[in-house]
Copies of this chain bind each other. A is one copy, B any other.
Amino acid sequence: MSGYFTEDIGAQELQERTAVATDIAEAVRTLIADTVLTEVDASAAATAIEHIEAAAEILRSRQLPDDSFGVRFNTDGTKRTWGNAVIGTRNPIAPPLDVVFDDDGLAWAEFEMGPAYEGPAGLVHGGILAAILDQILGSAAEHAGAPGMTGTLTIRYRQGTKLGKVRAEARLDRVEGVKSIAVGRISTAEGTTAEAEGIFILPRWARESGAADKIRKALSDG
Q: Are the C-beta atoms of B49 and A51 separated by less than 8 Å?
A: no
Q: How far is the CA of A1 from the CA of B58 in the complex (A)?
A: 44
The answer on a CB contact under 8 Å between A151 and B156 is: yes
A127 touching B222 in the complex, CB below 8 Å, given contacts A28-B32, A38-B24, A64-B37:
yes
- Cβ–Cβ contact B69 & A49, under 8 A: no
Do the beta carbons of B51 and A63 come within 8 Å of each other? no
Confirm or deny: A52 has a beta carbon within 8 angstroms of a beta carbon on chain B: yes
The verdict on A11 contacting chain B, using a C-beta distance below 8 Å, is no
Q: How far is B33's CA from A28's CA once the two chains are assembled, in angstroms? A: 11
User: Which size bracket describes the interface of A in this complex?
Assistant: 35 or more
Point out the residue from B19, B23, B90, B125 that lies within 8 Å of A222, measured CB to CB.
B125
Expressed in whole angstroms, the minimum distance between the Cβ of A129 and any Cβ of chain B is 9
Asked whether any CB of chain B lies closer than 8 Å to the CB of A183, the reply is no
A55 to B31, CA, bound (A): 7
Q: How far is the CB of A125 from chain B (nearest CB, A)?
A: 4
Chain B, Cβ-Cβ closest to A156: B152
Contact A34 B48 (CB under 8 A): no
Nearest-CB distance from A161 to chain B (Å)? Answer: 10
* Chain B residues positioned under 8 Å from A1 (CB to CB): 121
